[in-house]
Amino acid sequence: MSKNSINRRDFLSSAAVMGAAGTLGGGALLSSCGGGAKEPEMVPLRPVSEWNIAADSFPDKANDGRELKVGLVGCGGQGTGDLVNLLRVADGIKVVALGDMFMDRIDDCRTRLKERANVEVPDEACFTGFDNYKKVIESDADMILLVTAPAFRPLHFRAAVEAGKHVFMEKPLAVDPVGVRSIMASARQADTQGLCVINGVQRHHQRSYNEAYKLVQAGMIGEIVSGNVYWNQSYLWHRDKDPRWTNMEWMIRDWVNWNWLSGDHIVEQHIHNIDVFNWFSHLKVESAVGFGSRQRRITGDQFDNFSIDYVYEGGVHVHSMCRQIDGCANQNGERVLGTKGSVWTNQRGDAIITDLKGNELWKYDIEKEREEYERVDPFALQFVNWVNRIRSNNPINMAEETAVSTMTAIMGRISAYTGARVTWEDVMAMDMDLFPKDLELSNVDLRDFPVPVPGRTRGERRS
């Protein structure tokens, strides 16, 4: 296997030249393939002005500027971690409100904030109950982090946008078609208000992904013809029911195992990989046919494995595979195939482009990145971009594109649950709304949450 790699600085300078010239030649990117081999001709897939890049660069720390006040809705492990990351990468950030369903989660969050960021939040700035989000949004916060179970995201996002707040919200953005369409509507309202909205699809803020993306758009792998996306891992987690909890409280604490709360793991977790293909390809998904099953999941009503055949415009097929089962082969990443080669990416920082014979054309230099930067963690870099955008009054709004990826994942889940072929037109017209009509901490009947049976389940298929 021949290896022809360039480092980060060389790539960025080459990319700048390519963008300015509007044309691409292999000589700017590749050394000779050995023995005077002809360098591949590169034809851009689209103009540089149409590339989808969240930021021109990803510095270690946000620029200084006016003080910004932040409120957090959802004080679990992810929400607390997001807030700590924000405080790590930006000075002049004041925490003014914390909200969660349960006080013990807020107490844990406050402890971690004190230990990791030397930040104390007073009692009067902490809010519990189903309406905690309203009180956080009604505070004087400029910025709101929305990190509850995904079922609540559309409601919370709409309220934050209506209040004129800048928003960071974790993926996925919804669990059903009604929720996705709500997100899309709120995203357009955020545009009219010039708000900065960034989502937790952090690969858009990972340097290796961005450099691979630029090379794909520059034409290194040719026209995109197919893809494979994977998130296969061991069992995630669950909460045993405490006898002091009602069924509703248990479900919310065990949210990652219940479809109405998480969207199932194809939506809650595997959206990352699906989103990468959508991002790299710029193609529109048309349909999905898939299957899945429940083998070893302990609580909830979800599957623990999915296999979906997505069809995108132009007849491009993408195989999506995800699993959460102990003792099985694991893989997490994305492969995008083109007429001239393919690119492999994953969150560890691997990014490799090979030709059709498997020869390595380019490989991201993760060691070089570690030498040049203090931070290589995209979970932190996304907050650098968010703060810089707010302070420079340079709006960004990722909500609609992430909503499309969320809906793509939902299509796969619906197909696997029902056994039906599901189209984009189907889901955009569905009135499926999984949110409970009566939201209170009561002993809901768990028999109302059966495990889906393909060929029999009809509740998620349009009549």
Which residue has tokens 């209506």?
162
3-state helix, strand, coil in the chain (%, to 5): 40, 20, 40
Which residue has tokens 């990803």?
58
Q: Could you give the count of Cα atoms lying within 13 Å of 318 in the half-sphere of its Cβ?
A: 32
Q: Report the DSSP pairing between strands 422-423 and 285-293.
A: antiparallel
Residue among 87, 96, 107 at smallest CA distance from 136 = 96
Which whole number is the average pLDDT over 120-144?
Answer: 98
Which whole number is the average pLDDT over 433-444?
Answer: 90
Find out whether 399 and 434 touch, Cβ atoms under 8 Å. Answer: no
- Which tokens go with 313? 């415009």
Query: Three-state DSSP class for 123?
Result: helix
Quick one: pLDDT at residue 317?
Answer: 98
Quick one: pLDDT at residue 7?
Answer: 41
- Which tokens go with 305? 């494995």
State the chain's mean pLDDT as an integer: 92
CATH classification number, 206-376+401-448, choose in 3.40.50.300, 3.30.470.20, 3.30.360.10, 3.40.50.2030 = 3.30.360.10
Query: Three-state DSSP class for 52?
Result: coil
Q: Check pLDDT > 90 for residue 457.
A: no
CA distance 437 to 341: 50
CATH classification number, 68-202+391-397, choose in 3.90.1150.220, 3.40.30.10, 3.40.50.720, 1.10.10.60 = 3.40.50.720
Which whole number is the average pLDDT over 82-86?
Answer: 98
Q: Check pLDDT > 90 for residue 69.
A: yes
Q: Check pLDDT > 70 for residue 9.
A: no
- Which tokens go with 348? 């560890």
- Which tokens go with 35? 């023995």
CA distance 22 to 48: 7
Quick one: pLDDT at residue 40?
Answer: 61
- pLDDT tens per residue across span 151-167: 999 999 999 999 999 99
- pLDDT tens per residue across span 318-329: 999 999 999 999
Q: What is the CA radius of gyration of the chain?
A: 22
Domain residue extents for the chain: 68-202+391-397, 206-376+401-448
Q: Check pLDDT > 60 for residue 385.
A: yes
- Which tokens go with 258? 């219940």
Q: Check pLDDT > 60 for residue 183.
A: yes
Number of Cβ within 10 Å of residue 279's Cβ equals 22
Which residue has tokens 């999941």?
297
Q: Could you give the count of Cα atoms lying within 13 Å of 355 in the half-sphere of its Cβ?
A: 14
**72: left (phi > 0), else alpha (psi -120 to 50), else beta?**
beta
Quick one: pLDDT at residue 376?
Answer: 95
Amino acid at 48: V
| pTM tops 0.75 | yes
Which residue has tokens 């055949």?
309
Confidence band, pLDDT 50/70/90 cuts, at residue 39: low
- pLDDT tens per residue across span 230-268: 999 999 999 999 999 999 999 999 999 999 999 999 999
- pLDDT tens per residue across span 411-426: 999 999 999 999 999 9
Determine whether 140 is exposed, middle or buried from the number of CB atoms within 10 Å of its CB (0-12, 13-18, 19+): exposed
Residue 162's contacts (CB-CB under 8 Å, 6 or more residues apart) are 189
Quick one: pLDDT at residue 437?
Answer: 87
Quick check: bond before 172 cis, omega within 30? yes
